[in-house]
């Protein structure tokens, strides 16, 4: 008995919280309730503002059926998703390795950090005329506009993640004879994963916004083109259908990245135990 009492129990860190645990409530019920609350607010605003200015949810649903039947919405969604996915994947494929390289080689990172911050502060819309001059009005220009919109938050978050890795673990690994590559693979990269996933989320939201911007400034196609056409002709019901589709795409992308984050967390903790 005394031996059992003398056992040292590890301290388990818990996330701070306010209110009940998520496991104690059904979060899906709350989401459904908030959804119907938003529909009620939308309907009330449409009644107050007038249905010619703001369509009701029912009018928007009817317009959605019409634009789906004529095929215009599906074609525009396909075009926008092609631009969005291509630009976002290219930005992640460039920004993550480059941010890891900046963080892993401190001299290189400290040298160009100021230039990266300067590019991040610049409004990407200012580059659109130059992009159109060199790449035209086709898919190449749209994809590049999405790329420059999403690349900076992913790059900066990846770089910050490597810089904020646990310094004590790094020193312990060096004292144990760990090589630079082992330290980078076992400590720096797993420690940077939360920052990388946060950067991917921010980059995805900016990529979706820049997809619409690119379609407004270049060839009028995709969901951005439909927004321009419906907005200029004041067809507000169809306009809000496009807005809802963009919101649905945004939610789907964020949920996908959230699932990816959970999988990367498992790999991260498994890597820390090995």
Residue by residue, DSSP assigns 135-160 as HTTSHHHHHHHHHHHHHHHHHHHHHH
Query: In 105-221, which ranges are continuous DSSP H helix?
Result: 106-121, 128-135, 139-163, 167-175, 180-183, 189-217
Question: How far is the C-alpha of 272 from the C-alpha of 269, rounded, in Å?
Answer: 5
Q: What is the pLDDT of residue 267?
A: 56
Q: What percent of the chain has pLDDT over 70?
A: 79
Average pLDDT over residues 32-42: 87
Going by pLDDT thresholds of 50, 70 and 90, the confidence category of residue 10 is very low
* pLDDT over 60 (residue 242): yes
The listed range with the strongest mean pLDDT (22-31, 91-100, 226-235) is 91-100
Q: How is residue 148 written in tokens?
A: 């420059």
What is the pLDDT at residue 145?
92
Give the span between the Cα atoms of 194 and 206, in whole angstroms: 19
Domain coordinates in residue numbering, the chain: 24-54, 55-273
Across residues 27-54, what is the average pLDDT? 82
Q: What is the pLDDT of residue 8?
A: 41
Is CATH 1.10.420.10 correct for 55-273?
no
Q: How confident is the model at residue 266 (pLDDT cuts 50, 70, 90)?
A: low
Band of residue 12 on the pLDDT scale cut at 50, 70, 90: very low
Confidence label for 82 from pLDDT (cuts 50, 70 and 90):
very high
Distance, in Å, from the CA atom of 230 to the CA atom of 237, rounded to the nearest integer, reads 9
Read off the pLDDT band of 13 (50, 70, 90).
very low
Look at the chain and count its residues.
274
**Rounded distance between C-alpha atoms, residue 26 and residue 268, angstroms:** 29
Q: Which of 19-23, 71-75, 221-225 has the lowest mean pLDDT?
A: 19-23
Mean pLDDT of all residues in 42-71: 84
For residues 10-35, average pLDDT: 62
Reply yes or no on whether the pLDDT at 1 is more than 60. Answer: no
pLDDT tens profile 143-189: 999 999 999 999 999 998 888 876 666 667 666 666 667 667 677 77
- Range 193-211 average pLDDT: 90
9 pLDDT band, cuts 50/70/90, is very low
Identify the band that residue 124 occupies on the pLDDT scale cut at 50, 70 and 90: confident
Contacts of 240 (CB under 8 A, 6+ apart): 55, 60, 63
């Amino acid at each position: 008995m005394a031996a059992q009492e003398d056992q040292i129990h590890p301290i388990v860190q818990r996330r701070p919280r306010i209110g009940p645990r998520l496991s104690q409530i059904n979060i899906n019920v709350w989401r459904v309730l908030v959804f119907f609350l938003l529909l009620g607010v939308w309907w009330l605003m449409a009644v107050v503002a007038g249905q010619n200015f703001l369509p009701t949810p029912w009018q928007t649903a009817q317009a959605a059926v019409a634009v789906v039947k004529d095929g215009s919405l599906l074609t525009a969604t396909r075009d926008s998703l092609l631009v969005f996915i291509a630009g976002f994947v290219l930005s992640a494929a460039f920004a993550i390795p480059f941010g890891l390289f900046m963080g892993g080689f401190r001299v290189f990172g400290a040298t160009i950090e100021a230039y990266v911050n300067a590019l991040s502060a610049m409004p990407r819309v200012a580059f659109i005329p130059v992009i159109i001059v060199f790449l035209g009005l086709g898919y190449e220009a749209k994809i590049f506009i999405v790329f420059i919109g999403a690349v900076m938050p992913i790059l900066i978050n990846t770089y910050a993640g490597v810089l904020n890795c646990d310094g004590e673990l790094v020193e312990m690994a060096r004292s144990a004879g760990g090589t630079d590559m082992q330290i980078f693979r076992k400590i720096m990269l797993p420690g940077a994963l939360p920052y990388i996933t946060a950067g991917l989320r921010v980059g995805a939201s900016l990529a979706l916004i820049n997809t619409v911007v690119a379609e407004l400034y270049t060839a009028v196609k995709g969901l951005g083109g439909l927004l321009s056409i419906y907005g200029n002709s004041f067809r507000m019901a169809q306009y809000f259908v496009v807005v809802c589709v963009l919101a649905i795409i945004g939610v789907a992308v964020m949920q996908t990245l959230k699932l990816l984050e959970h999988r990367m967390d498992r790999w991260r903790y498994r890597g820390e135990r090995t």
